[in-house]
Amino acid sequence: MRTFGVEEELLIVDPVSGEPLPRAAHMLAIMGRPQDATHEFKLEQIEIQTSPCLTHEQILGQLHQGRHAVDRAARQVGARIAALATSPRSAATHLSPGERYVALAEQFRITSHEQLTCGLHVHVAIESPQEGVEILDRIRDWLPLLIALSANSPFWHGANTGYASFRTQAWNRWPTSGPLDVLGTEAAYRALVADLIGTGGIFDEGMMYFDARLSRNNPTVETRVADVCLNAADSALLAVLVRGLVETAAREAGQGVDPLGTPTPIVRLASWRASRSGLNGVLVHPAERRPVPAADAIAAFMAHIEDALRDSGELDGATAALEALLARGSGERVQREAALGGGGMADVVAAAVEATHAHDDGWDDGGRPTALWEPER
């Protein structure tokens, strides 16, 4: 099986007011700057990273361990960790140290100033960059469904946005965000990257903020469209689904199956639709390009990757976990229900903190889950 790994961007929040707190540098110093945690663009964020894994169990265990470790450090500086894709509370933000971040702030101004979003990035191993581009060509049509499954950002600067994943809207202000065209070859991919850098609008390959890309540091395809999930179980599920999608695409390429080739504006619109309604309404069917109930679009996704999941022994577990997610809803539903309690955004953040760390206790460096694919309710 292909190895896979996850990066989760997490918010650092005040446990009482729910406001973001710039504590990342202090937390990393307390933790001794570990390899599995690092700073992000803003000091109000911290990122945890799994190592390359082979199984769902390994991914889930490392996510629980990572969340627990950074929350332990956050408590020592008067904060907590919340897996929220946007901050429900409005607050000033602070750049992490470094000349590159200063340059980003100078170049992109209010886009940079307001940037406080947290995503879930999934890396899946590839055999070569050419295989990676062929995979990118064949997964692009399906990526909007990951937005719907992970939707966890209905609030922005204290306002109800009306979106399930407003992070998608905020993130797409960056000039290199969004879906790629079908490119066909590594040479075409490299030429596009070079041309984008050549415009002077962006600095380097690290600013290729596409929905999915070739990782510049690892031999992987990296998907970047998903919100960080409130529940670690959902992050682990999405990682398994992405690996199944990548493996399916690689098999199609090997068999000479052409990409669906959906026009890029339609892929972008499908992402908007997923961002707007999440799992609560209709989505654009990736193959048929028409609106269908969200459950039907997700069913088509699972049918598309069924063989890959079966061959890896993950079909039954992924199906059960997905059914649980569809029944209870994504993090968006948890946030909206918390907001109905009357305590405003502080209640939303408090509920998110609790959900972020469900089942964290009891995981250590050699720990294992009590049951595979146990859904978090």
70-106 CB burial, b ≥16 within 10 A, e <16? bbebbeeeebbbbbbbbbbbbbebebbeeeebeebee
Query: Position 331: which residue type?
Result: G
How confident is the model at residue 362, as a pLDDT? 55
User: pTM for the whole thing?
Assistant: 0.94
Nearest to 47 by CA among 80, 76, 11: 11
pLDDT at 377: 33
Assigned architecture for domain 4-356: 2-Layer Sandwich (3.30)
| pLDDT 10s digits, 59-83 | 999 999 999 999 999 999 999 999 9
pLDDT digits 0-9 by tens, 88-130: 998 889 999 999 999 999 999 999 999 999 999 999 999 999 9
Whether the pLDDT of residue 266 is over 60: the answer is yes
Give pLDDT, residue 87. Answer: 97
Residues with Cβ < 8 Å from 342, sequence gap 6 or more?
A: none
Rounded Cα–Cα distance for residues 16 and 7 (Å): 27
Burial class (CB in 10 A: 0-12, 13-18, 19+), 302: middle
Please tell me the predicted confidence (pLDDT) of residue 143: 98
CA atoms within a 13 Å half-sphere pointing along the CA-CB vector of 38? 8
Contact call for residues 44 and 111 (beta carbons, < 8 A): no
| pLDDT for 364 | 42
Residue 194 pLDDT class (50, 70, 90 cuts):
very high
Note whether 123 and 214 are within 8 A (CB).
no
Structure-token match 């945690």, residue found: 37
Nearest CA among 164, 215, 166, 169 for reference residue 189: 215
Instruction: Report, as an integer, the average pLDDT of 148-176.
Output: 97
Q: Please give the single-letter amino acid code of residue 300.
A: A
Mean predicted confidence (pLDDT) in 322-348? 94
Q: What is the pLDDT of residue 359?
A: 81
Q: Tokens 């169990």 label which residue?
A: 57
First-to-last alpha carbon distance for the chain, in angstroms, is 30
Name the band, by pLDDT with cuts 50, 70 and 90, for residue 361: low
Instruction: Tell me how far CA of residue 174 lies from CA of 57, 125, 143, 202, 209, in angstroms.
Output: 35, 26, 18, 10, 8
> What percentage of the chain reaches a pLDDT higher than 70?
95
Give the model's confidence band at 145: pLDDT under 50 very low, under 70 low, under 90 confident, else very high. very high
**pLDDT score recorded for residue 343:** 81
Q: How far is CA 15 from CA 73, 75, 81, 353, in A?
A: 14, 9, 9, 8
pLDDT tier, 35 (very low <50, low <70, confident <90, very high otherwise): confident
**245 pLDDT above the threshold of 90:** yes
Distance (Å, whole) CA 331 – CA 59? 19
